[in-house]
Every structure is written in C-alpha cells, then in structure tokens.
Structure 1
Amino acid sequence: MGWGRRRKGPSTTNQSEDSKEKVVKPLKSDVPFDSNIQTRTYSNVDFEEYYKEQRIVRTEEWDSFMEILRKPLPAAFRVNSNGQFCDEIRSILENDFVKSLQAEAIESGELEAIKPLPWYPKKLAWHSNFSRKEIRKNQTLERFHEFLKLETEVGNMTRQEAVSMLPPLFLDVHPDHFVLDMCAAPGSKTFQLLEIMHESSEPGSSLPNGMVVANDVDYKRSNLLIHQTKRTCTTNLMVSNNEGQHFPNKIAFDRVLCDVPCSGDGTLRKAPDIWRRWNSGSGNGLHSLQVVLAMRGLSLLRVGGRMIYSTCSMNPIENEAVVAHILRRCGCSVELVDVSDMLPQLIRRPGLKKWKVHDRGGWYTSYKDVPKSQRDGVLKSMFPSGKSDKDYEDIASDESAEEEVCDLPLERCVRILPHDQNTGGFFIAVLHKVSPLPEIQEKLIQRRNRNSSEKPQESVEEIVVEEASSENGLKPPEKESTSKEGTIELAQELDNKRKAWKGLDPVVFLRDEAVIDGIKTFYGIRDESFPLHGHLVTRNSDTSSKGSVKRIYYVSSSVKHVLELNSAAEHKIKIASVGLKMFEKQSAKECEANSCSFRITSEGLPVILPHMTKQILYATMVDFKNLLQYKSIKFHDFVLPEFGHKAAELAPGSCVVVLVDGIQKLESEAVRVNSSTIAIGCWKGKASLTVMVNAVDCHQLVQRLSDRQMSMNLTT
C-alpha cells in the first residue's frame, strides 16, 4: 500500500538486485556499466594486498579468482513460483531459448547460453552466460531481452543476482511464520520470501497465517521496495521505514533476514567502479553498525527461531568478525547452524577462523598491538579472539605473539567466491536462537536498582542491544517512557515525526458499514468465505462521494494483528505500505445508481475472485482475446451473441471476465477457480464492456494465450 497509481509503462527499477543496492553509498558506482568502459581500471593494489594477506583463497587459486572478478557478471533471473504462467515460462526457457540462443553462446566461447541454477529448487532460477549489458545491446539477443523485460514488469519473473537468492532459501520459511527483512530494499529477497510463504497456498484456500515485514530506513529505497513487492499480489506484507537497529520490539519473529549494509566488494563484477574506490577502511567503518543490526535482529527473534546474517562483501571484518562477536555476546543462547546438507549442488567455502585487521597504521594480529590512538577505529570485536588488554595479561608473551585463531565454529558460515560457480561474492551465517539472550549482570542489576517499583524493568534483550551499541560507538535504541508525562512527551514527539515522515499517513481500519456492505452485496461476497470487516484499511477515513479515500487495501489476519498491536504501542512501526490494494474508487456516472463505487483492482482480483458470486462473466478464447486487443467492445459485437446478452444484463459497474475452455463450459458456468484460472477486470457500461487492465499486462496476457494456443495446435 504505497503512494499514487501504478506506473503504466515499463519499469527499470524492479530489475535492481539486492546485493548492489546493499552497497553503502561511498562505494556505489555512479557510472552505468556500459559507460566510459575504456577509462575503467579493473585492479586495485590495496585490494589485492588485503585479500592475499587475509588468505580468502589458496595461492594457486589467486589468478583464477582475480580473472573472474574482472569479467562482467552473468545475468540471472528467477521465475515466480506462484505466478499463473510459471510452468509455461519455464517451458519457454527450456524448449525455446536454451536452443535458440545456443549459436550465440558458442560464438562467445560458452557451452550453454542459459541454464537453470543447479542448486535452486524446481528449475525456478536461471543463469545466463551473457552479461546484462550484452543482453541489452546484442541484436541477436533482442527477443530474449524483450521476453525478460515483459515478464519482469508483470511480475512473472525477477531479475536477481544468483547469490542474492541464497538467504531466503537458507532461512527455511514456512507459511505460518512471522518474518522480518530488516534491510529489505530494493525488495528481491522480500519478493522471494513471499513466494516461499505462498507456495503451498492455492487460490480459493485460506491465506497464509504468517506475514513478512519488509523494513528499510531510507525513504526513497522504501519506495523502490514497495514498487518491487507490489507485483507479488499479497495481503501478507507490511513495508516499514524504521532504523533497523531501533526497530520496535513489539513482535516476536520466527525468522529474521539481516542482510546488512556492507562495503560490497562481492559486487565488483557488476559495479566495477568499486575497483578505484576500494579501501580496507570501508569494512572497518561498517563493522559496528553491522554488529548492532545483528544484535537487534536476534533480540526480535523468537526462541527457536532462525536468523540469517548476510553481506555481499568478502571482508572477514564484516563477516566472521561480526558473527564471532555476537556469538560471544549471546553465549549459549544463540548457536551457529551447520547448513552443509542444504543445497548440496551449491559450491561453498567454510568461514575463516583466522584473519587480521588493517587500517592506516598497518596490520594488526591482535587488539593488544593496536596503539591507543587508533582504537577509535579498530575495535577488539574485529579480532578472531575478541580479547581486550585485560584478557592478554593472563597469557604468556610467546603465546600472545602467535596469530589469533577463533575458537568458535565459524567454519559453519557459508562463503561464496566468484570463481567457484561464476557468481558474485557473498557471505551467509545461519543463527538459531536457543534461549532468551543472556543477562549482562552488572548493567541489569544497576538498572533494576535505579528503577522504582512502579516502573517496568527493561528486557534483557534491550540491555544486550544497548550494550552492543555503546561498545561500538553507536546511538543506543530509543526507550519508551511509561509515565504519564513521558507518554504525553512521546505522543508529541511521534506527532512531530509523523509530520516529517513523507507520505506516511496513518493506517486506518475502514469502519464505514455502508461502504463495506455495499461491496459485499454488489460482488456477492460472504463473510464466512472472505471476511471484509476488520480486514479493510485505508490511509484516511473519508469514504463519502467527494471524500479523499481512493483506494482500499485488504490485510490478512496476521497483518491485522500487527496493525492492532502497533496502534496501541508508543514506539510505533513507521508503516510505509501495508496489504494488497483490493478496491479503487471509480468516478464514472454509472456508480451513482449503484450501491458500490469501488471497482476490483488487477492486483486484488486473484485473491478475491474465488469468493465472488456476482458480477462474473465467462468468455471463450476468441471473445476474451478480442477484449484484450480492442480494449472496449459493444455488446452486439461479441463473436458469441450469448456472451453479449449476458454482459448487457449485468449490473453496471465493475465486473470480472473469466476465460473458459469452450461453449459447453460457458453454458454451464460451472467454473472452478484455481491457480490456472485466467481472468481480467472490466467495466460494464451502458452499451459496451471495457477492459480495466494496463497495456503491459494486456500485451503479456495476449502473448501467453497465443503461445498456449500454438502449443495446443501442435499437440493436436
């Protein structure tokens, strides 16, 4: 639930990929990949020295590692497993493009043009041996390029870097899970999480009991996230605009994806401008934020839940050092999960147990070697042992001079290196919360002694997170006051913040009984089948004919529950978008004679159609395709006169046209709605039927139906 109408034209923003967007701004490329290519440098002496010293690959592999980093990243994409045409798109890839692009692949020196990623289930993710630039510019690949653009725009496919698809798979999401994506923009992983959650749900069955909260601190990136996830057509999503490290502790999540901001050197192949900007200080500077984000994620995680910590960096200071530090802080309450048996065809490396820290003062093997003047930028948590000066006092001098080795099972972490399977670089750690986070005894006792008996005591989780924040030089999470004065002050502060939150109007449950009953009666929706009361929300409550409510959104029971919790909370989740746009106000004159002035949206149609008993027409292929091609047809001009007669008898206003196989089914109208049902929203006027679908979706649907007809003709 976002701002404004859906864009009508093709979009490029939804083709962004997660790992590139997670690169922090100082290292993000300002130059498109295919610009000024001659002036680019694909080397950096500091980069090579740093990673040779860290020994992230064996000496004999170094040349292969560097060679692949200088090559453009092959394009990768994923087929939406819940999409209506999932099987057909997969068939087109296997039976058409695999063969038709083969000659171009051989000419480029590759064995295959495109192929399924071997580790992704059900051949839903594909890897191309062409870069995105080659696909855009090569004339022989034009048909493939147009196919990718169209299917991505309508939500049947997502262009996403291969390694970016891994965290949702390792997260092991179930339909009843409450999931938090802490740093979610631009949204490819969120889209993937929702696909997994909905995978077991058929149209007509109940909605999943779980939900996904997709959070990002940046307002502009939240807009991108909303645009990306709009294509999922889900009622089980909330998009928020909070700082991840201060995310309100109101919901216990079953799964948390903590894909943190990072230096992003794993994305060198698609963001080559990083070569000239790279320096070791970038990773050091982000280490503290990464620790605090990870700690906050664990504090929000339910006992028994799973969290993924991931980066698109190869730097151990951002990866293993962060994981080691949070494991030490959490003690036995959190364990690092061995996922070596998952995705067996994925080539991965174990996490490092030894590394060094580098800054402008040089290399350090332990914290005791760091001069006091450098300790603002080099923290003890960056080293394998995590020891402080006091810890070294009890160690013999000859022993302390040895290179530090971490005593935690960091080999369970997952390192993805580019030259193993022709990808980008990536890091993943899977964490399991075994018990509540441990008490920090001294701080806990001090705080409890200071608290009066009337005031509630702080949670252990909040103290652990604040401890991590202060130790790493970051602002601790905001605390909520429960005194009367504090409540008033906080309410005033929230009012001021709300004014500053661009476009974030409050979410309001729709209470207008006349509007709700009008929708139910007009479309024949029964409460026992699809309850509307308590599930419809807007951004304001004025539903009058001249009111400002233009769109009504439907939320699942899980999202409804979170909205109710949030409305009663003092420290609120900043909701940027929620639910699925189900109804949109229509200003046509025909509405004046109706009890319902809200039409069904294209996004909401797949969800509500199984529960409609009125305003439905059934069309054969010829009339259905004519509607898509001509957009508006008079009743007497339909090929099948009976269809035109039924359209004329329908109540004026919004209606749905369902495609049926033949005249026999058309006459019986006994059509069961399922995942293969094809339907479009229309408007029944005085003399004609008009399609209420945008041009891109119409074009895609015509293409799919033509392909289906051709396939059937070949079969017969």
Structure 2
Amino acid sequence: MGGRRQKHRAGNNGAGGGRNRRNNGNQGTGERGNYSSIPTENALYEFYYKQTGLIPSGEWDDFWTSLQRTLPTTFRFTGGKAHALGVLKTLKETLIPHLVGIEWEGVPVEAPRVLEWFPDSLAWQLSVGKSTIRRCPPFKRFQNFLVAETTVGNISRQEAVSMIPPLVMDIQPHHVVLDMCAAPGSKTAQIIEAIHANEETHVRAAIQDQSIDDGSGGRPAGLVIANDADYKRSHMLIHQTKRLNSPNLIVTNHDATMYPSLLVKNEDGRKEYLKFDRILADVPCSGDGTARKNYNVWRDWNPLGAIGLHLTQVRILVRGLQMLKVSGRIVYSTCSMNPIENEAVVAAAIDRCGGLGKVNILDCSDRLPELKRRPGVKGGWRVMDKDGSWFSSYEQVDKADMREARLSRIVPSMFPSEDGKSDEDESRVPLERCMRVYPHLQDTGGFFITVLEKRSEIGAVKSEEHGRKKMAAIARSKSVTPGEGGKGVEVEETLEGVELVPTIATSGEETPASGSPSKRKLTEVVPDTTPPLAKKPRSDLPDSGEGGNSDGGVPLESEEATLGTPPQATASNPSKKYKGPPAEEPFKYLPADHPVLESITKFYDLDLRFPKTCFMVRNAEGIPSRAIYFTNHLAKQVLASNEGSNIKFVHCGVKALMKQDVQEEGVCPWRIQSEGLNILEGWIGETRVVHARKRETVRGLLKEMFPKVHAEGQEGDVIGEIEERVRGLSMGCCVLKVEATEGEFEDRMVFPLWKSRHSCNLMLPKDERKHESPCCCDIGS
C-alpha cells in the first residue's frame, strides 16, 4: 500500500457526516466558499433542538453559535504507512515554525494545530481562510505540501468527526471488514490503513527470512469490502481509495439493506457464507449535524428528514448484524443529532435481532480519552411532525385525526422503548453507551457513534412495525416481484408491510433497489414533504478551487449522507425507464505457470516465494493483453467463489504490470506499473535494480524526460551517478531504488525506470512528476 513512492522508516479508511446537497443557490454560482453570505437561520431547526432538551440550557448559546460558524479544515496522515512519521516530522520541523505568530493584513493567523484526541498526533486542524493561504507565502508553501502529499497518498483530507468510527472498530490486519455505505471513501481509507498497519516491516522480514514461505509475502491476510448502492458513486469510492494501492480491497455495488451473502471455500473445499469480523454502517441520514459545512441544512431542514430515513437505517443495521461473526463488532454512525435516527435505530435493531442476548452495546468510554463527547440518550425523546405537532408515544399518533399519508411514516420503533425501565433492569438496552459529539465541544460537526457486539447467531428477525392499517392494506394489494438484491441472504427476513415506507432516492445511498420487496412504487409515493435531494459530492482534487470547506483553503471530502426526495411520477408523466449500470469485465486469475507470468518471473528474477497465484486480468477470456492486476489471497477466494453469481463486483486489485510497445525482439514488454511497485519491488532480483543516493540524480530524472544514456567514456550531467549501471542494462523496465543517505534523503524511495536503447525515463505521468518534485527535492533542501 502507498503507491509508487515507498518510503521506509522504522516503526508503523463518507455518510455519517456531511454529504452535501445538490448544488443550488450560492453553491451553483461559484460563491460556495463564502459561508458568511448564507443565512444561518432556521426557526424550525432551532425550535426542534431546543425542545428536545439534548443540549443543556447553559450550553445552548455555545452550541447554536458553533453551528453557525464555518467548520475548520482537518487532515490526517496515512496511518498504515511507515513514511507517515517522516511526513509528520517535515510538517513539525520544517513548516510549522514558519506559520507560528504570523499576522496577515493586520490580523493574527492561527497555525495548524494537532487534534489532541487522534492517536499519535496524526490528525491536524487548520482554520485559515482560503484567501490567506493563496496570498500569504508561508501558507502557500504549506498548501503545496498538502497537495503533494495528498496526491501520493500520505495525507487525507477528512472532517474530524468522520475519523471517529474507524478508530473505535479495533481493526486488525487479519480482519475481514465490510463498509456498507462507503462512498466517497474517507472512512474506507482509514479502514484500509488499519488493515495495512506495519505491513512494510512484515514484508521486509519475509523478504529477508528465506524460511518464511506462507504464500502471503508478509502482507496482511485481511480484506476490506467497500459497498455503495449507486454505481457512479462506487467509482468515486475507487478513485478515493486508489491512492492507497491496496490489493486487499473489493468494491461492490448493492443495496445495503439487502446486501447479498458472499461465498468462500473453507479448508475442506466446501463453500460457506463469508462472515465479517468488523462492519461499518455509516448510514444515510438527515445530516442535521453538518450545518457548519452543508449550507442547505439551514434552508431545508425539517423533522420529516429523520422520519423518512428511520426504517432504512434500521434495515441496514439489522442486515449488518446478520452478516457479522459472533463476537464481531459493528459500528453504527450518523451525522445527525436526532434520536430518531440514532438511539431509536439502535434499540429497534437490537429488538428485531432478539434482544441483548444476541446483540449488546459496548462501552467505549475508555477509547479516545481526549475526545469530548456526551452519552447517548436513555429515553424520553419525542417525535415531531412537520407542522410542529409533538408525539410522546405511538398511541398518540394512532389516535390523531390527521392525513394518513403523513402519519403513515411514523412507526412505533421511532419512540423510546426503554422508558419506565430502571437502570438495574437487565432487559434495558444501555443506550447511554452510545457516543454523541456536539459542535461546541471541540469545534467539530455533530456526530453519533455506537459500537455493537454480536453475542450469538441471529435467527429470523422480527418483522418491522408500521403505521396506519389503511396504508398497510393498500400496500398488501400491490404485487411485488423480488429483485436480485435479496438473493443469497442466509437468514430470511420478514418483509411484510415494508412498502409503507416511501422510497428515499438519495442517489448513491442505501435505499431499496428497484424491484426489490422493500421498494414502494413511485406512483404511490406520499406527498412531497421532505427536503430536496441530497448527494455526497465528488471529492475535489487538491487545490481544485471547487467544493470542500468553504473557507479553509484545503478542499474537504464531504463524508455524510443526507435525506432526499423521491421523484414524482404520474400517469401523464411516467418515470423514465431505469437503465442499469454497464456490465463489469470479469475477474480472471492467471495460473502460476502461465507463459506470460513465467517470462515476467524470469526477466525480473522474481523470488519464487512471491505469491504469483494472485495475478489476474479483466477480460472473459483470461488473456493478459494489456494489464495484469494483483490481489491478496482472500480477495481471490471471494471473487472466484462468487463467479457467475449476481454479486456486483465493481473493483478489485492493484494494477501491477502494463504492456509496453517495444521495438526489439526479446525485450520483456511488461513494465511495472507505479501503483504496483511497492508490491513487487522487494522481490525483484538485483539484475533489474538501479541504486541512487544523490538528490541531484532524482531531481534530474524528475525534471527531464528521456535523459540520454551516453556511450562508454562519455559523461552526462543528468544521471551521472547511475549512468554506468543503466548503460549495462538490457532494454526494458527496471527499478530505481533511492537509498536513504545522510545529507541527501532521510527516507528510501522507489521508482519504475524504463531503459531504452539510448535513454532512460522515470515511468511517471507529468502531473505526478510535478507533485513528486517538491516532496523529494525542495522541502528541506
């Protein structure tokens, strides 16, 4: 993991949080960054949270004022790479001293500061405005540093509260992990980093110790499966995680409420269902905790947001619990502060799965001790309709003389089920073990996190409880054809009455798939009483000038899902026929004795212990015609065991080798791709390795394309140190290893190098050369 630039030192991834709404208003006019121009007022929003009593009266002013301020920009260093310590050292020793005590245009400017609660000082916060970063020279240099290190995967831009869920999952490198609602992928990236923790150390040990031959090459045995319901957003997820170059990642495209069971072969060769050690259910939510960056919360918020998503959230959590191993851990999180989306969902899911004997809430108060939080709400919350009517129990709703369509969305599980139970009652769900993070506690967004442990296997879950009998009768009269999304679920769930919940089309969030048992026909959707459609925006590229934090200068990746409105369809205006995503190319693994792999092994003198059975191609014929990918063994098992099924695999594997056009016979056309370099480089024989130690050598190769390799007796001024070695190499790809040398480089680096007849060239795109140059050569020079 970590890509083309592997640096070594001793030692060591939304949805829940702000998936911004569609661009409109100021956002569509290029004024997105001017948060002060947007009215931060919503009387219903303010009235609702005052009435809930969640915030003590003495803290209300601080809470409300915090919500109205622009959210600081936060970023973190990639925890799974040993080089993160080196990059962090550069920040502390080279950059921060120049940012302390600065005044710009007569105003003091705060230097970046560490987030105290994040482990190992790997997360930082920046409150400087974008105009200051662009015009103030020290901050401009700092921005260049962030852009360069983000490009190569050493830094990730991510909201602070979005970093919490993966930290409490307690992920180990051997774990099988599912991220149910993954796009755009910052939490997925954290999960991947945890899987690859200390990987470089283990790989080096495996390379050096000839007795180690377990088929893994020292790489982690775990697997991350990241899922998103929207096909386009699943590709956004691939883009976000690609910087980490993990062979331990699979991306799928399914409705999380009915995520299909995956098959794997056990030691006896028989297939069994894959169970997960850890699951993240960072579900679609109303997003009312994201007001500091999701500006349309102020304009559009109303209480029906939480009501419309409650049952979808329950279904996702229940499905996650079904797929979890006994003693496994699932983290449920939202960027909402509403108990209907939080404590009510947790209590409902536990009840549907069989109670505390099956699922329990873990006490994580000892985790992240510096994080300021509040306990979950034990009970006493109420449900409010759009017109401001409060209900303390479902019995009040049942007796109310109001419109059936609106009240049908309120269900019994939205109300407290633990009221009246004493703390000593063993049947009481300990909701106070949930974690609530409020904006005024540590200058963050609002967030909710719960860690659940599965105590025993779950049988058939209870059916969902729904509202009005009249609506139930209508729903039962409609014929529904199950879709493929429900296939493969080993524990059949009763879905009677599910049609009562209007479909919330959140474009990329886990809503029931078209044609599934839980999908309500659009012609029967209730009147439009919900806020406008919300989407997770694409993660902006570094310094793109679009999206991100409104005033932070460093584009933020919006991580949370918010509520959307279903499209309206009538007989006179029928909905457009759905066109499914394009078919994905199949994943075909190459046998270890394939002629192409044998030629590659011979050319690069590849160590025989390298796991060559994990190379694959993306075509039905299984022919290595253009690219060869590499995965870990468990990913291979999952893909192979489910071949031909309805599982929608979108992505897996790191592009390790690419076919190159060559002009001479006998030259191996397969060059090492920069993404797969860290996977292969340690196992390549010295016959295809070039060593360099001088800064000017790397600088010259980065700045000049195809520098000439002079004939013997002639000296060049670009690659002088390595010219003799390169001259003696046969044509084809080789590996340039830049050794750590005092006064030159503190860290080791690796690049792919192509040797031509009369020249050589680093196999890096021009834009990557631009980002490499300041990191390798300018900083600290």
Structure 1 and Structure 2 fold alike (TM over 0.5): yes
Structure 1 match to 2:395:
368
Give the equivalent residue in structure 2 for 1:581.
655
C-alpha contact 1:29 1:273 (8 A) present in aligned 2: no
Deviations 1:237-267 (A, max 9, x none): 0111111112111221110000001111111
CA distance in 2, matches of 1:509, 1:581: 13
1:358 aligned partner, one-letter code: M
Specify the SS of the correspondent of 2:642. Answer: helix
2-side partners of 1:469 and 1:638: how far apart?
74
Q: 1:148 to 1:227 in 2, by over 3 A?
A: same
Q: Residues 451-530 of structure 1: matches in 2 within 5 Å? A: 462-464=491-493, 466=495, 500-502=580-582, 504-511=584-591, 513-528=594-609, 530=610
The aligned residue for residue 593 of structure 1 is 666
Look up the equivalent residue of 2:363 and give its one-letter code: D
CA positional deviation for 1:124: 0.8
1:688 counterpart = 2:688? no
Rounded to whole Å, the distance in 2 between the matches of 1:130 and 1:677 is: 33
Select 2:634's aligned residue among 542, 554, 558: 558
Partner of 2:10: none
Structure 2: tracts of 5 or more residues without a match: 4-12, 207-217, 263-273, 422-426, 465-486, 504-511, 518-576
Give 1:95 shift: 2.3
Instruction: Show structure 1 runs of 5+ residues with no match.
Output: 7-15, 388-398, 401-405, 444-457, 480-496, 666-674, 711-716
Partner of 2:80: 82
**222, 225, 239: which one aligns with 1:213:** 225
Alignment match of 1:356 (pick from 361, 371, 382): 382
Partner of 1:646: 725
Q: Who is 1:449 aligned against?
A: none
Task: Give, in whole Å, the separation in 2 of the partners of 1:74 and 1:194.
Answer: 25
Q: For 1:59 and 1:148, how far apart are their aligned partners in 2?
A: 40
AA aligned to 1:513 is H
Q: For 1:37 and 1:176, how far apart are their aligned partners in 2?
A: 44
1:439 deviates by 4.0
Q: Distance in 1 between matches of 2:620 and 2:363?
A: 48
Shift of 1:407: 4.1
1:382 maps to 2:414: yes
The answer to whether the 8 A contact 2:248-2:653 is kept is: yes
CA offset digits 1:652-676 (Å, max 9, x no partner): 111111113579x9xxxxxxxxx95
- The CA RMSD measured in Å over matched residues stands at 3.5
Corresponding residue number in structure 1 for 2:363: 338
1:659 counterpart = 2:738? yes
SS at match of 1:603: helix
Which is worse superposed, 69-78 or 27-36?
Answer: 27-36
Distance in 1 (CA, whole Å) between partners of 2:345 and 2:24 is: 20
Superposed counterparts of 1:245-394, under 5 Å: 245-250=257-262, 251-330=274-353, 331=355, 332-353=357-378, 354-360=380-386, 362-371=389-398, 373=404, 374-385=406-417
The one of the two structures with greater contact order (alpha-carbon pairs below 8 A, sep at least 6) is 2
Separation in 1, partners of 2:117, 2:63: 21
Change (3 A) 1:60 1:642: closer
Cα deviation for residue 352 of structure 1 reads 1.0
Given the alignment of the two structures, is residue 147 of structure 1 paired with residue 159 of structure 2, yes or no? no
Q: Which residue of 2 aligns with 1:603?
A: 675
- What is the letter of the counterpart of residue 63 of structure 2? F
Distance across 2 between alignment mates of 1:537 and 1:499: 27
CA distance in 2 between partners of 1:322 and 1:276 (Å): 26
- Give the Cα separation in 1 of the matches to 2:446 and 2:106: 24
8 Å CA contact 2:16–2:336 kept in 1: the answer is: no
What amino acid does structure 2 have at the position aligned with 1:579? G
Aligned to 1:64: 62
Alignment check: 8 A CA contact 1:27 1:277 kept: no
Output the CA distance in 2 between the equivalents of 1:342 and 1:105. 38
Residue pair 2:148, 2:775 contacting (<8 A) in 1 also: no
Report the CA distance between 1:698 and its aligned residue.
2.6
Structure 2 contact 16–283 (Cα < 8 Å) conserved: no
CA distance in 2, matches of 1:349, 1:153: 36
Q: CA deviation at 1:39?
A: 4.7
Superposed displacement of residue 701, structure 1: 3.3
1:618 aligns with: 691
Q: 1 CA distance for matches of 2:14 and 2:463?
A: 44
Structure 1 position 500, deviation (Å)? 3.6
Partner of 2:618: 538
Q: Which structure shows the higher helix fraction?
A: 1
**SS at structure 1 position matched to 2:172:** coil
Question: How high is the TM-score relative to the length of structure 1?
Answer: 0.81
Contact 2:178/2:224, CA 8 A, preserved across alignment: yes
Which residue of the partner structure matches residue 225 of structure 1?
Answer: 237
Aligned mate of 2:451, from 430, 447, 454: 430
Q: Which amino acid in the other structure matches residue 341 of structure 2?
A: E
CA contact (8 A) 1:307 1:431 kept: yes
Could you say which residue in structure 2 is the equivalent of 1:200?
Answer: 198
The alpha carbon displacement at 1:83 in A equals: 3.8
User: Do the aligned partners of 2:74 and 2:123 also contact (CA within 8 Å) in 1?
Assistant: yes
Matches of 1:380 and 1:566, distance apart in 2:
39
Q: CA deviation at 1:510?
A: 2.8
CA 532–29 in structure 1, closer or farther in 2 if over 3 Å, else same: farther
AA paired with 1:304?
S
Partner AA of 2:436 in structure 1: R
* Superimposed CA distance per residue, residues 204-239 of structure 1 (whole angstroms, 9 cap, x where no aligned partner): 341101010011111221121111111002110011
Q: Once the 2 structures are TM-superposed, how far is the Cα of residue 313 of structure 1 from its aligned partner?
A: 1.0
Tell me how far apart the structure 2 counterparts of residues 460 and 222 of structure 1 sit (CA, whole Å): 22
Tell me how far apart the structure 2 counterparts of residues 73 and 276 of structure 1 sit (CA, whole Å).
Answer: 18
Question: How far apart in 1 are the matches of 2:25 and 2:429?
Answer: 33
Larger mean Cα displacement after TM superposition, 78-87 or 183-192 = 78-87
Superimposed CA distance per residue, residues 120-174 of structure 1 (whole angstroms, 9 cap, x where no aligned partner): 1111111112356764676763222222122112211000000000010001100
Q: Give the residue type in structure 2 aligned to 1:523.
A: Y
SS of 1:635's partner is coil
1:469 to partner: Cα distance: 5.1
Which residue identity lines up with residue 149 of structure 2 in the other structure?
E
Letter in 1 for 2:176: F
Q: 2:439 maps to which residue?
A: 418
**Contact 1:304/1:435, CA 8 A, preserved across alignment:** yes
1:267-320: CA deviation from partner (whole Å, max 9, x where unpaired): 111122220111111111011111111111111111110000001111111111
Match of 1:699 in 2: 770
